[in-house]
Every structure is written in structure tokens, then in C-alpha cells.
A and B are shown apart, each in its own frame.
Chain A
Amino acid sequence: MDDEYNIGIPSDVLGAGATTAAPTSGGGGFLDLLGGLGSYLMQPDVLLPGVVGGLLTGEAYGRLSDIGRQARTGAEELAAQQMEQTQFRPFTVTTATGAGLGTQVTPEGAIETTMGLSPQEQAMQQQLFGGAGGFFGQAMQPTVNREQAIFERMRAAQRPEEQRQRLATEERMAAQGRLGLSSAAYGGATPELLAQETAINEARNRAILGAMQQAQAEQMQQAALGQQFLGAGYLPQQQLLAATQPAQQLAALQQQAQLQGAGLFGEATMSGLEAQLIAEQARANLLGQTGTGLLQGALTPRTDNSGLAQAISGLGSLLGVGG
């Protein structure tokens, strides 16, 4: 692609638009070229527009640089303002039972939340936590002792009837003259005694199993109660958190409005900056075009001095001098 303005050519921008003469052979040609250029530039109708055009172009260039710098500064100022506008605003919540939620921003910028329960809630929580600890402690105990205790209670309930049955059997056997009977086939007892003792042993075995199951059920119950107490212990806190939901929504709405306001502020500010940048850019472009025109006039061969006058006139309008 051809570089329309010869940017990047060592002859610099001043050479833009100039036709490139065919290089002469040998060093004597280049010096001749420079000598001819110098002679040309030193002509009065070339020298002034050229100088003025160059100045104007340089001015335009400098203004463009100022416009970018100003835009950046304005954007940074805007960002700082928006940062301030959108910053988190701490809030507190206090429930009807006296619990409270507080928020604050640490110096490091972190958000810190604090919750506090009322004395009654704290007492209840302590009690529930204590109960949970007790239940969990019981659930973690070996069940052997409890099994034995349950078994003894079950047997205590069974023994009176067993004793009645034993007495009835004894009376029946006495009436039948069988009290002193012993048979090897029945383990040294009698069929009815063996049956009775078997039944009693079965009841005892069932009591053992029942006691084991009951102890395990109680263990599960203790664990469940512990969980319930533990959960209930956290209930004030949960209720506090639940109570902060509306406040959090309000804070979010505020934050949202804050963000929207900051956004609108930023957009408005950026619009001003953009307009200013556009205007400054247009002025710089105009100045540059003027300079360019002057340079073109200076470097374009002409026959009269009207060009010079136009160049001076253009440079004067560009600089705000004269017409």
C-alpha cells in the first residue's frame, strides 16, 4: 500500500506530497539535490507559507495530544467519582426480639458482618446447645448399660406373672403328685416345668432382644433429639438472618439505584468529555488542514504571489489573527 503522506520515510512529513526525484548516480547528485532544495526553500514565496504551515501542523499535532491527555484525565476523574458513588453503604438490622445484624467496611475494603442475639435468645440458645450436647453425649454412650436397665425393667414387669404361673404349676403338680418328679428326658425336670421354663426363657430372650432394640432406638432418639436441639439452637440466628432479608433487599435496591445513578452520571460526564474531545479534535484537524494547505501551497510551484498571500491569509485565519 502506498503511504499517501510518506510517513515513515526518512525525509519526514515535510516531504509529504513531494514527488521523489530519481536518485542520481554518485554522491555528487545527492548534494546537488540538497543544494537545489535549499535554494528553492529559501525563496520568499516558499519560505513563509512553508514555515507557517509547518507551525500550524505542529500546533494541530500538539493539540491532538492535549485532547487525549484531557480525555484520560476526565475519564479518571469520572471513574474516581463513580467509585465513590457506587461504594457499599453499611447498614444494620434489628429484629423485634432484639437480635441485630450489622455491616461495615473494613479499612482494607472488606465487608464485615456482625450478628448479635438478645439475652433471652442467647440464654435459650445456650440451653438448647447444652441439651444438644447432652443428647449427643448420651447417644455416644455404649448401649450395654441401658440394655441391661431396660431388660431389668421388662423382667420386673414379667416376673410377677411368671411367678403366678410357677405357683399355679406348682399347685397343679402338687395336686397331681408330681412335685418330686424328675425325668432325664426333660433335663431332670418334668414336661410342664420344661415347657414353662422354656417359655420363660423365650420371654427372657425376647426381653433381651427388645432391650437391645429399645436401647438402640433410644440411642437414635437421643441423636435425633440432639440434632433437633442443635437445630433449634441455631433458630434465633436463622430468624435473624431471615429478618435481614427485607433489609438486604432494600440495600440491594439502594445499591442498584446507586449504580444506576453512577452510571447515568458517568454517561453524562462521558458525553461532555466526548463532545469536548470531538470539538477539540475538529479544531486540531482544522488547524492541521490549514497547516497542510499552507505547506502544500509553499511546496507547489506557482507563478504569482497570490499563493503566498492566500497562505498567509490562511495561516492568519488558522491562528486567529486577522480576517
Chain B
Amino acid sequence: MAQQLQSINLVAPAFKGINTEDSPLAQDPSFAEIADNAVIDKRGRIAARKGHSVITTTKTVLGIDSIRAIKEFRDDGGNTKIFSIGNNKIISGTTTLVDETPASYTITADNWKMVNFNDKIYFFQRGYQPLVYDNAGGSVVTLSSVSGAAGVTSTMYGNEVLAAYGRLWTADFNSDKSTIYWCDLLIGHDWSGGTSGSLDVSKVWPDGYDEIVALAAHNGLLIIFGKHSIIAYQGAEAPATMTLADTVAGVGCVDRDTVQYTGTDVLFLSHTGLKSFGRTIQEKSMPISSLSGNITKDIINALQTENTFFRSAYSPEEGFYLLTFVGQDVTYCFDVRGTTENGSYRVTRWVSTGFTSYTRQEDGTLLIGTSEGISEYVGYTDNGSAYRFKYYSPSLTFGDSSRVKILKKLKPTLVGANNATVFMKWAYDFKGTYSTAEFTVGDQITGFYGESEYTTVEFTGGALTNQRSLNATGYGTSIVVGLEADIDGSQLSLQEINVMALIGKLL
């Protein structure tokens, strides 16, 4: 007697993002084992990320190097200018990259950090005299060459710089990892007069010793990130009288470029994953949860093997925090709109993007640095090339891991994916050999009333939905279902996957 097909509907699969921490068998199908080049879209579905469109046309000064940092200069007069770093140069412009490196100023590293402060943009890198640009001067110059500059010595050639509370703050020097210097009020080139000063926190570290990695300002606090601890000072508006407000031991920051402000919190990458400063302070007497708790091991492995740069970006428009391990060409995309039950952000992974830097412009545009110059995070191609979207579910047992499951059909429901070739994949019992069913989504071009009425399309309601039914083969006790598609100009969201299977005998 024929058995009835059992339907397992994976609604909004992977809308909780990747989870590589929990046992695959016990996982919620809402997680994904793999979610590459994906984001959580506005409806909570896993979807293909946007691509990037290179806006640089002339990148001679960059050579074969990549853009290592990008920053938009803005002043009160409304003047703006995009500065970037690459090929051991200070570069300006977006379409045509221009070398702005001061004459007779030799640069051999591209780990600059740029901050806007009082109508100027400052460039800081460890061991290098800081540089400064303003619209009136029109060129990047050394800080000591500014009229009235004082105290610009090698002791303050820091790797980290923060513009906050009316001052520039710098730390992380060649031989001094515990001192913070700040400039005179609103005078970024005066580091020895007025109300400038310094703070040696070597006696303040809760663990006895640490090294300053990053600085941040949040909620009236000056936050000093060590490698393994955090110190927060209050009253930094008047540094001479600021006092220690809090310390956190055991949690530090890996790299200054992982610190991002979300408006209500400060995100940073610690040695155990992505952390929130607010939650860290709040939970310091309790087990501290991680915002990357679903991929903790992956993150730790990535940061331990990273030997180039960390880069990050926060985009409130896209609702994500990007963390890129430049040397591994891996980016983790954390959806900051909500958290899962364990307090972690939903996370997806972007691989082989070639993204090496980010900045968010005032208008919300996310600029991306690559070896091709400066791009915008827009569209659904990587500068005209397709990229592969991947989704793989965790191992599914359909509630009974002791019985054999015989897949009969797979019915994915996709949104968008115009003309995309989609590969449905499945495998049994944790084996890495996948069976594949390929199909091509039809023309999904939308036809809007008044625009395409009399052409070849019919009226549609926006992004079109495509549902297919694919025959599957094989059997096993656990099943992994995957979907891959080359994104080449159209968005793709995975609405659901309906898995039809026969439940077999006990093994």
C-alpha cells in the first residue's frame, strides 16, 4: 500500500540566518547552514545581497592595489570630498582618483583612519605624522605644517583617532599602548597647549595589563577598548576632570576598524565575536552574550587567521552591520533589526566579494572600496558580473531521525530572480555529495500600469513570485536542502521551500 507523502514546509527558510553553533539535527529549520551572498530582506526572508557598481573610471594612482579606506569629508560650508586610501597614497575623488599625498611624504602602509573634525578631515596611522585637509587649503598637508601647530611629535602619531567631545583623541602608538592624547578644544593641530592633555591608563586596566586598540564615544562616555578589556570614562567633555565610569574585563576589541556606531549602541568585534557595548556594560556581571553567537567559532577562526585588515560598516538604510576579513575575502552581514532567541543578530555571509573598505555617505549611500576603485552598494551585479547566492538548510530529520526519508519533490517559492538559473540541491546523512535539480526562472520583468501596458508584459504587482516543483531522488535519515543561484541583475528572495518526502522504515 502506497504511503502518503509527508509535506514539510520550510517557510521563510533561514530567516534567522546562519547557525553553525548548534547541532545540525536539533536545529530550527529557520536557520541556515550556509547563507552566502545573502541578506535578510525587508520581509524577513533570506535574499541575495545587492551588488556593487564601480563608479571609478580612472584609477591610475591606485594601480593594482585596492581601496583600503574611504571617508567622506564634509564641512559646515556644505563642501564634500571623498578621500580614500590605497597603493600607499592618500587619494581623493570617486570617478577619477587623484593622488593627494603631500610632497616628500613617504607612505609605506595603508592602515589610515580618517575622521572629520571641525571642518577638517584628519588622517592618522601609527608611526606617521598625521595629515589634515580642509576646503580652504585645498590640499592634504602634514599636521605640523598647519599654522599654530604645537605638540605634533612622534609620541602622538597614533593608529587610532576619535573625534568626540570637541577634540581629537589618539592612541595606539608604536611603543606606547596605554596612553591617550587629546588636542586642545576644537584645535586639532594643538597637542601641547590649551586644554590638551594625556591619560595613561596602564594602571587602570582591570586585568592589570592591556593595550589600547580603539576609542569610541557613546552616551557621554569615552570608551577605551583594550584587546581584552574595556574602560569607560565619564565627563570627557572636560578631560582634565573626567573620571572612570566603568570597566569590563575579559572583553576587548580586536581592531579599531570593527567599531561602528548604531546610534543607540556601539558594535565592535571582540576575540569571542561581535559585541554590543551597551549590552556589555549592562551584562558585565552576567554571562555576556554575543551578537555573533550563532557563528562564534566561525568568527573566531576568521579573526585568528586574518592577517590583513578588518573593515566594517553600518548601514541603517540596509539594516546591517558588515564585518569584512579582508585577507580572507569574507564578509559577515549582521542584520541589526532584530535578534534571535539567544540574543544574536541574524547573520549571513558574503564571500569572494573583493570588498576591502566601506563608508556610508550622508545620503545613506554605502560606498565600497575594491581593487577597481570606489563602488556603490547598488543593483544586483558585482560591477556587471553575476555572483552566486547560496542557501543550505541544516540537516532536517522531519521530527524523527530514526526513520528513512525518501525525498519526492522540492517546491521552492522564489521572489524575483528574473531569468536566473537556480540550482536546487539536496543531500542525505551529512554527506557532501549533493544531488542537483536546475531550472531557470522566467522573465520576471515587472510591468507597471502606464509604463508597459502596450508592450510585451502584463501588469504586475512588483516583484514576481516563482514557484517550481522539482523531483528529488535518494533517501536517508537526514536531509540537507540547498538552493544556489547566480544573481545577475535581479533580486532574489527565498520565500519558502516545500519538501515532500515519504517516511520510511526504522533503521
Q: Which residues of A contact B (CB under 8 A)?
A: 174-186, 190-191
Contacts and interface: CB of A to CB of B under 8 A. Distances in A.
B244 A177 contact: yes
Interface in B172-195: 178-179, 184, 192-195
Interface of B: 178-179, 184, 192-204, 231, 233, 239-244, 247
B248 to A, nearest CB: 13
Kindly name the residue among A174, A178, A191 whose own CB sees the greatest number of chain B CB atoms within 10 A.
A178
Contact of B193 (A177, A181, A184): A184
A113 B241 CA distance: 86
A183 B182 CA distance: 9
A31 B418 CA distance: 209
Contact of A182 (B184, B194, B197): B197
A166 B222 CA distance: 27
B244 A176 contact: yes
A183 B201 CA distance: 14
Contact of A184 (B192, B200, B244): B192
Given A174-B203, A177-B231, A185 B194 contact: yes
Most chain A beta-carbon neighbours within 10 Å: one of B192, B199, B233: B199
Nearest to A175: B244
A90 B197 CA distance: 96
A71 to B, nearest CB: 118
B203 A183 contact: no
A171 to B, nearest CB: 12
Contacts, number: 59
A183 B240 contact: yes
Contacts of A176: 243-244
A180 B195 contact: no
Contact of A181 (B178, B202, B231, B240): B240
Contacts of A191: 240-241
Contacts of B196: 183-184
Interface-centre pick from A181, A182, A186 (highest chain B CB count, 10 A) = A181
A108 B198 CA distance: 99
Contacts of A186: 240
Given A176-B243, A191-B240, A191-B241, A181 B204 contact: no
20 contacts: A174-B203, A177-B201, A177-B233, A177-B244, A177-B247, A178-B243, A180-B179, A180-B199, A180-B204, A181-B197, A181-B240, A182-B197, A182-B200, A183-B195, A183-B196, A183-B240, A184-B192, A184-B196, A185-B195, A191-B240
- Chain A CB within 10 Å — which of B192, B202, B244 has the most? B244
Contacts of B201: 177, 180
A174 B193 CA distance: 25
Nearest to B243: A176
Given A177-B204, A177-B231, A177-B233, A182 B243 contact: no
Contacts of B194: 184-185
A197 to B, nearest CB: 15
A181 B199 contact: yes
B361 to A, nearest CB: 36
A185 B244 contact: no
Nearest to A177: B244
A177 B195 CA distance: 19
Contacts of A174: 203
Contact of B195 (A175, A179, A181, A184): A184
A185 B193 CA distance: 7
B198 A181 contact: yes
Nearest to B233: A177
Contacts of A185: 194-195, 197, 240
A184 B201 CA distance: 18
Given A177-B204, A179-B204, 11 more contacts: A176-B243, A177-B201, A177-B231, A177-B243, A177-B247, A180-B198, A180-B202, A182-B200, A183-B240, A184-B195, A185-B194
